[in-house]
Amino acid sequence: MMHIRADHGPQPAQYHGKRVLLCENNPRVGMCIASVLHEVGIAVIGPISTAEEALADCFRQSPDLALIDIGLSGAIDGITLAAEIAPLGVPVIFLTGDYERACVEGREFAADILIKPISVPAFLNSVTSVFRTRAE
């Protein structure tokens, strides 16, 4: 199993107490992302593989950010999930291998779009940027 080390120096204070909803249909990728988030002090809701379950958890746990794979399995895909949680004020970062689809169909719901495979520094920069924007 792949291990991603997230030791990038001192952890920003804006990570403490933050909760991220993680929706990823690939269990291995989901666990790697969750590991990176845990290592920097972010609480993770998930990884969750279906949009239906993610939507229910979003209403129950009010995350500060949602990381969503647009290619989720089930009746609802990641773009539809983002549209459903947008009225709740939860920013979304799409995680995808299909940049064109994310831009065309989901750009209005995304604070950022990251293309898989995702580097840890780029991932953490995106998360930090979204948290900073929300704090302003």
> Given this model, what pLDDT does residue 14 score?
63
CATH architecture of the domain covering 18-135: 3-Layer(aba) Sandwich (3.40)
68-80 pLDDT, tens digit per residue, is 999 888 889 999 9
Per-residue model confidence (pLDDT) at position 13: 67
Task: Give percent of the chain above pLDDT 90.
Answer: 72
Q: Which residues on adjacent β-strands are paired with residue 67?
A: 22, 93
How do residues 25-54 score in pLDDT, each as one tens digit? 999 999 999 999 999 999 999 999 999 999
For the residues 90-113, what does the mean pLDDT come to? 93
Taken in order 64, 130, 136, 51, is the CA torsion positive or negative?
negative
Q: What confidence tens digit (pLDDT) does each residue in 126-136 have?
A: 999 999 887 77
Q: Could you tell me where the beta strands, DSSP code E, fall in 34-111?
A: 43-48, 65-69, 92-96
pLDDT of residue 73: 80
